[in-house]
C-alpha cells in the first residue's frame, strides 16, 4: 500500500520526462535502423554487412545508442530527486510513517523500475530491428557490445540520486566527479563489432555496489550532517 | 490534582553549528493538549529545535522524546501521530489538490478526506491547478488541510505565518485553535508574527542566543512581565546590572524598563540610584511588546 502511493508520487514527477526520453530513445533506434536500411539499399545488404565486420575501421552502425540509456537514467534521476531536494522537500517524504530506509529504497526502486522499462522498450526494439536486418553472426556480438550501455544506466542513476540527496555542496561535487571518472571509462564504443562486451561485468557490479550509497547520502541528509 | 503526560520532552539539548553554540542544556516539555509557542530572534535556534524534533538533525548532546521515543529513531506508528508543517508551507508543488490528497491518504489510517476538502473547497482554485501556481495563502490552506485530514495527535508547525496576509493568518490561527482545543491536540509552533501567537498559544518558550529567557504559561508571563516607562536626565547605566532589571532601553530622555519586579520595587530601585523619574507609569504590554522588552530591540 505504502509503496503504491510512493510510486504514485514518483510517477507524477517523472511521467512526462520519462515518456519524452523514451520517445526520443525509440526515435534514435528507429533512425539508426533507417540509416542501416538506407545503407543496405545503396550498397547492397551483403556489402553493408561486410563493412560492419571487416572494414578498417568497421562500420559501427549502432554507435549513436552509446549514451541513450544513461541519458534516460539521468532524466529519471533528475526529475525524481530535484523536486525533493529543492526547499529540502524530502523532509515531507521522510516524515511519512515508514522507516527512512524503506522510503528512500522505495523511491530508488521506482527509478530502477522506470529505467528497466525504458531499457526493455529500447533494447527490445533494437533486438527486433537487428534480427530483422542482420544474421545471428552479427546480431549476437552487436548485442554483446550494446548490452553494457543499458546496464550503465543503473549506476548512473544511483550516482544521480546520491549526489542529489547529499546535503553538502562539496561532497556533491566529489560524488559527481567520482561517478563520472568511474563510469565514463566503462561506457565505451569499440572499433569492432562485439568489442568491450566484458564491460557488462564491472558495470553490473557497480550497479549493485552503488545502490546502498544513496542510503548513505539520505542518512547524512536526515541527520543534518 | 490534574496530571498531564508530556508529549514532547527535551533534555539537556546542546547543539553547535561548527564551533558556534546554538544552545546548551536546553530543557523543555510540552504537555498533552497544550499549545506551545517557541519565540526567538532570527538565529536563536527555533528551526534547529524543530529539525531536532522531527529527527532531521542530530543534536551534539542531549535527547528529545516524542511520545517517549527518541526523535532520532521515531517509529512509523509515532510518525503517523505527528503532523508537520514545514516553514513556508512547503508541499509537493508538482501535484494538484486531488493528487496530493490521494497520495497522503494511503499513509495515514485515520485519514479524514472531508476535513481536507471542507477547507479546500473554500479556496478559489481550479480542480487541476498545481500547488506551484497557488498563492502563498492558498498553499497554506492546502498544507493545513492535509494536516487536519491526517488527524495527528501532535502538530509541529514551523513558522506557520510566513508569507500569509492578515486575513489568511487570522483564518489559519482561528481554525487551528478551534481544531486543537476541540480535539485535545498538542501543538508546538514557531512564528515570526508574534501577535498571532497571542490568540493561539497556552504556553510560551522564549529563546535568545544560547539560552532560554522564559518558559511557562503565557498568562503567567503576561501577568508577571512588566514594562515601566519614564523620562529622566540622570544616568541609568548602573540599572542594567541590577538583577531586577531584565532590560533597559533608552532613547535620549525616554527610558523603557522591563522587569518581573513590582512597581514598588522599581520605584525604590530608581530612588536608590538617585533617579527622579518623570511621568513614571506602567503600560500594558502586548506579547510582541513583551517579547521585544525581554529580548531587546537588536
Question: Cα distance from B208 to chain A (closest Cα, Å)?
Answer: 22
Q: Which of B195, B246, B192 is nearest to B46 (CA)?
A: B192
Cα distance between residue B203 and residue B249, in whole Å: 26
A–B interface: beta-carbon pairs under 8 A: 75
Confidence grade of residue B1 (pLDDT, cut at 50, 70, 90): very low
Q: Chain B residues with CB inside 8 Å of A9's CB?
A: 92, 95, 103
Q: How far apart, in Å, are the Cα atoms of B285 and each of A168, B106, B203, B219?
A: 44, 47, 17, 12
**Any idea what the Cα angle at residue B222 is, between residues B218 and B225, rounded to 5°?**
125
B60 has a chain A CB within 8 A of its CB: no
Of B130 and B196, which is predicted with more confidence? B130
Mean pLDDT of B222-251: 88
Grid cell in block for residue B169: 493568518
The C-alpha torsion from B296 through B86 and B119 to B99, rounded to 10°, is 160
Contact A5 B80 (CB under 8 A): no
Residue in B closest to A222 by C-alpha: B56
- Digit-coded pLDDT (tens) for B149-199: 999 999 999 988 877 778 878 888 888 888 899 999 999 998 878 888 888
Q: Where are the domains of chain A?
A: 2-223
Q: Chain A residues with CB inside 8 Å of B92's CB?
A: 9, 12, 83, 89, 92
Q: Which of A123, A109, A131 is nearest to A2 (CA)?
A: A109
Nearest CB among A92, A221, A224 relative to B92 is that of A92
Residue B81, pLDDT > 70, answer: yes
- Digit-coded pLDDT (tens) for B33-75: 999 999 988 878 888 899 999 888 889 999 999 999 999 999 9
Counting every residue written for chain B, the total comes to 298
Residues in chain A, pLDDT under 70: 223-225
**Which of helix, strand or coil describes residue B257?**
strand
ipTM entry: 0.86
Average pLDDT, chain B: 88
Confidence grade of residue B112 (pLDDT, cut at 50, 70, 90): very high
Q: Chain A residues with CB inside 8 Å of B90's CB?
A: 87-89, 91-92
Cα distance between residue A164 and residue A143, in whole Å: 32
Contact A8 B102 (CB under 8 A): yes
Of B280 and B123, which is predicted with more confidence? B280
Grid cell in block for residue A129: 530491428
Cα distance between residue B77 and residue B82, in whole Å: 9
Confidence grade of residue B107 (pLDDT, cut at 50, 70, 90): very high
Q: Which of B120, B25, B8 is nearest to B66 (CA)?
A: B8
Amino acid at each position: 500500500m505504502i509503496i503504491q502511493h510512493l510510486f504514485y508520487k514518483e510517477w507524477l514527477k517523472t511521467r512526462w520526462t520519462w515518456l519524452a526520453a523514451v520517445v526520443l530513445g525509440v526515435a534514435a533506434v528507429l533512425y539508426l535502423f533507417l540509416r542501416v536500411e538506407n545503407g543496405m539499399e545503396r550498397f547492397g545488404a551483403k556489402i553493408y554487412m561486410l563493412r560492419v565486420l571487416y572494414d578498417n575501421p568497421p562500420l559501427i552502425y549502432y554507435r549513436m545508442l552509446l549514451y541513450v540509456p544513461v541519458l534516460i537514467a539521468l532524466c529519471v534521476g533528475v526529475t525524481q530527486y530535484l523536486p525533493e531536494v529543492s526547499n529540502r522537500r524530502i523532509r515531507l517524504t521522510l516524515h511519512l510513517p515508514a522507516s527512512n530506509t524503506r522510503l528512500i529504497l522505495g523511491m530508488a526502486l521506482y527509478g530502477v523500475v522506470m529505467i528497466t522499462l525504458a531499457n526493455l522498450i529500447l533494447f527490445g526494439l533494437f533486438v527486433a530491428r537487428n534480427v530483422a536486418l542482420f544474421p545471428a553472426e552479427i546480431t549476437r556480438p552487436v548485442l554483446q557490445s550494446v548490452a553494457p550501455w543499458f546496464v550503465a544506466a543503473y549506476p548512473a542513476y544511483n550516482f544521480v540520486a546520491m549526489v542529489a540527496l547529499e546535503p553538502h555542496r562539496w561532497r556533491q561535487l566529489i560524488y559527481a566527479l567520482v561517478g563520472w571518472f568511474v563510469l565514463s571509462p566503462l561506457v565505451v564504443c569499440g572499433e569492432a563489432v562485439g568489442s568491450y562486451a566484458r564491460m557488462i561485468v564491472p558495470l553490473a557490479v557497480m550497479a549493485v555496489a552503488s545502490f546502498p550509497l544513496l542510503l548513505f547520502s539520505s542518512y547524512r541528509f536526515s541527520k543534518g550532517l | 490534582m490534574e496530571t498531564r503526560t508530556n508529549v514532547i520532552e527535551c533534555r539537556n539539548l546542546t547543539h553547535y553549528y561548527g564551533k558556534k553554540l546554538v544552545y546548551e542544556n536546553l530543557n523543555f516539555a510540552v504537555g498533552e493538549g497544550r499549545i506551545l509557542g517557541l519565540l526567538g530572534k532570527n538565529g536563536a535556534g527555533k528551526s534547529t529545535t524543530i529539525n531536532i524534533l522531527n529527527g532531521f538533525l542530530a543534536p551534539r548532546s542531549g535527547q528529545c522524546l516524542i511520545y517517549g521515543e527518541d526523535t532520532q529513531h521515531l517509529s512509523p506508528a509515532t510518525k503517523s501521530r505527528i503532523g508537520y508543517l514545514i516553514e513556508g508551507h512547503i508541499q509537493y508543488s508538482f501535484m494538484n489538490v486531488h493528487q496530493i490528497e490521494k497520495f497522503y491518504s494511503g499513509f495515514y489510517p485515520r485519514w479524514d478526506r472531508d476535513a481536507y476538502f471542507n477547507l479546500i473547497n473554500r479556496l478559489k482554485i481550479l480542480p487541476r491547478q498545481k500547488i506551484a501556481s497557488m498563492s502563498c495563502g492558498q498553499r497554506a490552506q492546502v498544507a493545513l488541510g492535509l494536516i487536519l485530514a491526517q488527524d495527528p495527535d501532535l502538530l509541529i508547525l514551523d513558522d506557520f505565518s510566513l508569507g500569509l496576509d492578515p486575513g489568511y493568518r487570522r483564518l489559519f490561527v482561528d481554525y487551528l485553535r478551534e481544531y486543537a482545543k476541540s480535539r485535545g491536540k498538542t501543538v508546538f509552533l514557531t512564528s515570526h508574527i508574534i501577535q498571532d501567537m497571542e490568540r493561539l498559544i497556552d504556553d510560551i518558550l522564549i529563546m535568545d542566543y544560547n539560552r532560554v529567557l522564559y518558559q511557562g504559561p503565557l498568562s503567567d508571563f503576561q501577568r508577571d512581565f512588566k514594562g515601566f516607562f519614564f523620562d529622566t536626565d540622570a544616568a541609568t547605566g548602573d540599572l542594567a546590572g541590577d538583577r531586577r532589571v531584565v532590560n533597559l532601553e533608552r532613547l535620549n530622555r525616554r527610558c523603557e524598563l522591563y522587569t518581573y519586579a513590582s512597581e514598588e520595587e522599581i520605584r525604590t530601585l530608581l530612588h536608590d540610584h538617585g533617579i527622579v523619574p518623570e511621568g513614571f507609569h506602567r503600560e500594558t504590554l502586548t506579547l510582541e511588546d513583551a517579547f521585544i522588552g525581554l529580548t531587546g530591540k537588536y
